[in-house]
Amino acid sequence: MIWIRSILFTIVYYLYSIVVFILMIPTFFMPRKWAMIMPIVWTGGGIYLLKLICGVKVKIEGRENLPKQKGYIVASKHQSAMETSLFHNLVPDTFYVFKKELLWVPFAGLYGLKTGCLPIDRSGGGTALRKMLTGAIKRFKAGQNMVIFPEGTRTKPGEETTKPYSPGIALIYEHCNVPVVPVALNTGYCWPKNSFKRIPGTVTLRVLKPIEPGLPKREFLKQLQQTIENEQKKLPLPYTYKG
């Protein structure tokens, strides 16, 4: 049954995506605030279909920890493609930092650029970091909020990231003087990495208290990683399914 529901979801989701992209074409030629309607509608509908067809529900905790002022960073654990949809409807006026390869995703890549997302060349070294910093400063001044996955790649549930988080977020934290909101989640149980299955359950996305500006870079990066990885261990399992 899980496989049947997963296949059905994939078919319906792709058809839904095509319809949304076609209907939203006019917004691509409008100012950014109108173009943002497309990712919000697309991702929100996708999460609804995931719940309706596959029985995957989402529990969001700690919304009150999101800063009231504009211009902050959400630094999240990364387990699946699911969270890339969730933040569009949780964090207002969002822009993502993502690997440049995602620009090749039809329509989504172009809309990412239109809405101010920052594609990063992970092999670009210092040049890529400086470019990311310049783009982030510009967007924070415009009152936008960043979503970044400091691990740099997805990790499987139960795997603690032992290597240090990407230094890029520490660079932005230091130079932009903005709060960083850590997020723990367990989406990988219901939307596994590199898997076609969508397993029923209730995933938890837990927003933690912000790390305020002012810490030295190394101390900040250590605190961010420890905060997220320790909280991961406290999240409840989304389901009892063992297959």
CA distance 159 to 233: 10
Q: What is the mean pLDDT of residues 63-73?
A: 94
- Looking at the predicted structure, is the pLDDT value of residue 59 above 90? yes
Q: What percent of the chain shows pLDDT beyond 90?
A: 70
Count CB atoms within 10 A of the CB of residue 107.
Answer: 17
- Looking at the predicted structure, is the pLDDT value of residue 243 above 50? no
pLDDT-derived band at 22 (thresholds 50, 70, 90) equals: very high
CA distance 85 to 46: 8
Instruction: Label each residue of the chain as H, E or C.
Output: CHHHHHHHHHHHHHHHHHHHHHHCHHHHCCCHHHHCHHHHHHHHHHHHHHHHHHCEEEEEECHHHCCCCCCCEEEECCCCCHHHHHHHHCCCCEEEEEEHHHHHCCCHHHHHHHCCCEEECCCCHHHHHHHHHHHHHHHHHCCCEEEECCCCCCCCCCCCCCCCCCHHHHHHHHHHCCCEEEEEECHHHCCCCCCCCCCCEEEEEEECCCECCCCCHHHHHHHHHHHHHHHHCCCCCCCCCCC
Six-digit token string for 154: 């997805």
pLDDT digits (tens, 9 = 90+) for 74-107: 999 999 989 989 999 999 999 998 878 877 777 7
pLDDT digits (tens, 9 = 90+) for 184-213: 999 999 999 888 899 999 999 999 999 999
Residue 44: the pLDDT is: 95
- In angstroms, how far apart are the furthest CA atoms of the chain? 51
Residue 112: the pLDDT is: 85
Residue 122: the pLDDT is: 67
Six-digit token string for 128: 């890529």
Q: What is the mean pLDDT of residues 36-57?
A: 95
CA distance 71 to 66: 11
